[in-house]
Structure 1
């Protein structure tokens, strides 16, 4: 049974990845600082499972990372741990630098020293996979897509901090030989996403009868990637990717933000119509645009598809319908996030 150290495994993408990994027969040591976006409720299905070891801690805690590597001897490290909300990075960039840059550096140093001490076979097989974002590339015009060779041009404190961490990962490969892999993904959506992000925010507010905020004219374009497809791509890169390489992961689903919001409204109208019969799109409220808001992102994932045989299994229509249904069926999970009760319980958390 392989053992992986997964950081940030109580977050949105990390939590989905951990659930799938354990279900497939992987033993996971899950290190998460349980900041506001970390949620033990997401991992409830793994309670009591000996193949999931949860550790409450920070990737910047070098002594803790060293101890976990020494005790559990993982075959790979998958780094999801990050502060990731652009609006929060505008209000308080220091936390993003601390986690995404300083924290990643500490984890890389621990991984380097652990890897160097492995015997030959284990050293050859070890991998450090760093999960990043397409936002490091900046903004596109009306045409073109980001490739792995697109120059970095981050425009927010969040994307700048992720760009810095990507550069550190690359440097540790070229300087020390650490066998790294990097993935840069487009906008994820799906189960267990914190309700500050667009899709779960719109669902929650629509059901509550509240205004649905859309930045500016709503025509900012993103490539939407179902989280399950992203997790499958990470698994493919981890198992078959070329050491030192970067792989872009996209959903082949470019949509304007206003299209996404209107689609969610239409799905909710079908499943949970308003008592007054009005369409939920009537709740849409355009608000002042975000400072430095990138106009368009689009991912070229042809390298990943050609080299590793991956392709998204969910089109946007299928994925967004499944996502809306999941949130409707898991209102208790949403309620505990919205009222803050998910943060009050730390039962079973080890240090």
Structure 2
């Protein structure tokens, strides 16, 4: 196969039709990725916008490589692969963290060993994946409190209520009893989850606030005795090694205009923890949304085995969607996480159903 250098120098024979098609596909994919980054950039501001625009320019640089190889054979502009076109649509309609998680996976799949791609291009794509990973991590950090509450709420609602519904069905309960039990479980669980999330998040924020430095202390730095003071101990108490703490304290003492006792403490973490009210509301709504799924067939008037099968099917689908969504947001394999979520829900439902059967038979 002719090398890239040969192609660019024009000394190689004309590429085969199959090679031209491959180059056109790669050109279209690079252009599509550039469009995705520009769409994401249009929804951001500041540094994040600049980073995304930088990634778009890099993809356009890669596209120019394939344009040079194709020359007049490039033909009219084409759309990228179906996967990338789907990402472009998601970039327009869905949250950017979700799209970035998918783009991160896409970046790592591009450019398997290929004699026609410059070696730097494959390295670029790997670096792009790390850049996207960092941007996605920022977004996850900002929404982690609410996201965690939503995910746990939906998952707990699905698992607990399908287990509850199948348990009373196994015990021989009537359709009306199933509905009342399911709705009672929905309301009780949603309220409990919301209260628990509020207390948990609020307590975390209070603990973080209590551990933050007193910013008024930095006003005392210029008054300290340069030769005898405990400023270095402040930095050591916050995790610095003794030598590093001494150097930092010395620098602060000699430049009091930029002094800050909390300089090395980082952020207070409240952004990651999130708001107690938002977490509680998210947990309540998503638990209720998950818990209503197993009850839906019975609310619609279905009875008997058909209602049980529909409830199990709806719940299984919802469990897999929940697991797959969490995997995408965390950068993990969607199918594996979806199947794991399904297995957990199935096991819980099976246990309570069998317990219901046993208890119902014992009562009878």
Please tell me whether Structure 1 or Structure 2 has the larger radius of gyration of its CA atoms. Answer: 2
Give the shorter-chain TM-score range.
Answer: under 0.3
**Normalized against structure 2, the TM-score is what?**
0.22
Which of the pair is proportionally richer in strand?
1
Which of the pair is proportionally richer in helix?
2
> Which fold has the larger relative contact order, with Cα–Cα distance below 8 Å and residues 6 or more apart in sequence?
2
